[in-house]
């Protein structure tokens, strides 16, 4: 822990997508470790002309060195990132809701691919840049062909969202090879925890606490590798600082696949809810199984997951109860 603290203390760090679920947790941890942090947030996070209205980062807003309100896929974002001149640039901004890519593919592609292109172009102009960390996704792999997915698994996206992340992932690698940028690519598997506004776990938790039926789409046998947010933040920190991460794309997850039907049952049991579990129609482009082989990240960087699924669900449920609408 002290070694990680030294790795970030005093560093100038710019985080895109900083007011989102994962980005906000990462910013909080960076501030705790003594980094000087600037954030890039969507213009919709800004209200009026007097200041910034942040959702998740409001409690630490006064500790931020600068708040940049810009479209990550626009030219203004490039100029602002270059002007602030970070030593490390952590790119999390994305249009990450898979179902939105079914109806708004052009907008999703623009944010995820063009936004990454803008970040990489900005990185080329920042003198002394030590690292640009690009966030990919486990969705790039499609259906698992092996019990656990390592970095050599074929990339076979099943949705426009996943395709946009494949393109951004490989673009980042190409910039490393073409321009010598100190790029690292992180491939997180499903992450959950406080402040996540969508995806299966927060939806099921909300329904369990409200006593409503928990809807499982299709058979419920489709499975995912769920990591608690604290573990994934540590993955971002090590990928953003460890010298072995440069030029690599690495997977981060628990190595345990849990079916959605089993997940719903665990949430009912841990919450003490009386909610029934019901089945809905199958979802389009659904990946049948995602399970992470994090062996390379463990060998190279020393990272390993610490929080079990049940412990993470209990923490998430406690937070949801505390923050439930009156």
Q: What share of the chain is helix, strand, coil (3-state, %, to 5)?
A: 45, 15, 40
Pairing of strands 258-259, 223-224: antiparallel
| Burial of 204 from C-beta contacts in 10 A (0-12 / 13-18 / 19+) | buried
> What does the alpha-carbon distance between residue 291 and residue 153 come to, in Å, rounded to a whole number?
12
* Inter-CA distances, 283 with 216, 219, 222, 279, Å: 10, 10, 11, 11
Q: Which two tokens stand for residue 5?
A: 């603290």
Beta bridge partners of residue 133, listed in sequence order? 90, 184
Question: Could you give the count of Cα atoms lying within 13 Å of 241 in the half-sphere of its Cβ?
Answer: 22
Give the 3-state secondary structure of residue 215.
strand
> What does the alpha-carbon distance between residue 185 and residue 22 come to, in Å, rounded to a whole number?
16
Scanning the structure block, which residue is given the tokens 């990450």? 96
Cα-Cα-Cα-Cα dihedral of 75, 98, 227, 87, to 10°?
-10
Please name the residues in contact with 149: beta carbons below 8 A apart, sequence gap of 6 or more. Answer: 138, 141, 251, 290, 291, 292, 293
β strands within 58-159, DSSP E: 66-69, 88-91, 131-135
Scanning the structure block, which residue is given the tokens 């419920």? 220
Residue 11 sits at φ, ψ, to 5 deg, of -75, 145
Q: Which residues are catalytic?
A: 161
């Amino acid at each position: 822990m002290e070694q990680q603290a030294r790795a970030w203390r005093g560093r100038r760090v710019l985080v895109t997508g900083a007011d989102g679920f994962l980005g906000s947790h990462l910013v909080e941890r960076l501030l705790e470790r003594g980094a000087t942090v600037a954030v890039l947030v969507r213009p919709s996070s800004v209200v009026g002309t007097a200041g910034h209205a942040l959702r998740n980062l409001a409690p630490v807003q006064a500790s931020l060195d600068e708040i940049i309100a810009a479209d990550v896929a626009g030219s203004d974002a490039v100029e602002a990132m270059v002007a602030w001149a970070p030593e490390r640039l952590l790119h999390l901004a994305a249009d990450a809701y898979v179902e939105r890519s079914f109806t708004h593919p052009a907008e999703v592609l623009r944010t995820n691919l063009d936004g990454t292109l803008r970040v990489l172009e900005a990185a080329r102009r920042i003198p002394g840049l030590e690292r640009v960390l690009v966030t990919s996704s486990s969705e790039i792999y499609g259906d698992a062909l092996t019990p656990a997915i390592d970095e050599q698994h074929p990339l076979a996206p099943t949705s426009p969202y996943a395709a946009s992340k494949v393109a951004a992932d490989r673009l980042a690698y190409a910039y490393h090879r073409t321009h010598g940028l100190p790029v690292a690519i992180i491939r997180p598997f499903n992450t959950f925890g406080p402040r996540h506004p969508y995806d299966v776990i927060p939806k099921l938790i909300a329904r369990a606490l409200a006593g409503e039926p928990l809807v499982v789409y299709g058979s419920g046998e489709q499975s995912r590798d769920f990591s608690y947010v604290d573990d994934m933040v540590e993955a971002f920190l090590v990928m953003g600082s460890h010298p072995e991460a440069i030029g690599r794309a690495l997977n981060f997850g628990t190595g345990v696949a849990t079916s959605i039907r089993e997940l719903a049952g665990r949430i009912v049991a841990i919450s003490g809810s009386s909610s029934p579990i019901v089945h809905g129609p199958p979802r389009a482009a659904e990946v049948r199984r995602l399970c992470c082989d994090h062996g390379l990240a463990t060998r190279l960087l020393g990272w390993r997951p610490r929080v079990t699924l049940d412990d993470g669900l209990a923490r998430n449920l406690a937070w949801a109860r505390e923050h439930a609408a009156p």
